Amino acid sequence: MATFKPLEEWQRLSRKSDRALAELIGVSHSKISRAKRGLTTLPMRDQLLLERHTGITPAEWTEFYASLARAASRAEGEAVKKNARRAPAAEEAA
Measured CA to CA, the distance from residue 36 to residue 38 in angstroms comes to: 5
Which pLDDT tens digit goes with each residue over 11-70?
Answer: 999 999 999 999 999 999 999 999 999 999 999 999 999 999 999 999 999 999 999 999
**What pLDDT is attached to residue 68?**
92
- Could you tell me the pTM of the whole model? 0.73
Q: Tell me: the pLDDT tens digits for 66-83?
A: 999 999 888 877 766 666
Segments making up each domain of the chain, as ranges: 5-93
The predicted structure's pLDDT at residue 53: 95
Tell me how far apart the terminal alpha carbons of the chain are, to the nearest angstrom: 39
CATH class of 5-93: mainly alpha
